[in-house]
Amino acid sequence: MNNVILRRQSRILATVAVLTLGVTGAGSAQASPPAHGCPTAEIFATDNTAIITDPADSRLKTRLTRFDHEVREIIRANGARPGPSTLLDGVFWSGDLKKATYERSREFDVNEVGRDGLHHIADVITKQYHQESVLTFRCLPRTSPDTDAVEIQAPGVSRIRLHDALLADAEARDRLGGGSVTLDGRLVLIAPLADLPVAQRFTAELGVDWNRAEVRYGDEEFVS
């Protein structure tokens, strides 16, 4: 992942007090309940090491097919069960460059894995593909003491819309860093639980009907 992820990694998330406030705030802004098919965990990763600022860059057209097969094999070889993977177009804000950066990546569903096993798999991917960090997300109950983040998914968002909204919202740029969309226009946004109000406002700016959004609670980690 690019340097936006490192900035988010360095952010101190919730203390117990902040976590409690975040859960309360989430409860007052309920979206649709998570799908029963939420995997045990997810890994967000790419094999790209370049910073891409041109949305027309040919590297953003790759389907990461070989990478998909290789990562699924890494998951399997380390005792977990790989599920489907989804191709993503990411848009992130670079504070150093003062412009948006782009990234083609994949989200991998991972089942039959614990916290330590997930960390190890992400660490293998980080090293093998020379990444600054790899993002993981474990699906957990909203009230779990380990819950420190949310994953918001919602239909009807394009990469262009995500880019334009990110440029127009300085707070979202600084607090959330960016997000991703699937090829069929489904937003995938992971945010610290303490930043849920910012994420909710940002999704509204994207034209998302909050009642159609799916919110998953869990534990995020940037493995570097």
pLDDT at 38 (0 to 100): 87
Band of pLDDT at residue 3, cut at 50, 70 and 90: very low
pLDDT at 37 (0 to 100): 66
Band of pLDDT at residue 8, cut at 50, 70 and 90: very low
Q: Among 26-35, 64-73, 87-96, 102-111, where is mean pLDDT lowest?
A: 26-35
Q: What percent of the chain has pLDDT over 90?
A: 82
The residue with greater pLDDT, 155 or 32, is 155
pLDDT at 31 over 50: no
Structure tokens at 52: 């891409």
pLDDT at 98 over 70: yes
Structure tokens at 144: 């779990």
Q: Which long-range contacts (CB under 8 A, 24 or more apart) does 166-175 make?
A: 166/91, 166/93, 166/100, 167/93, 167/100, 168/205, 169/202, 169/205, 171/198, 172/198, 172/199, 172/201, 172/202, 172/205, 173/93, 173/95, 174/93, 174/95
* Distance (Å, whole) CA 152 – CA 163: 17
pTM of the predicted model as reported, rounded to 2 decimal places: 0.85
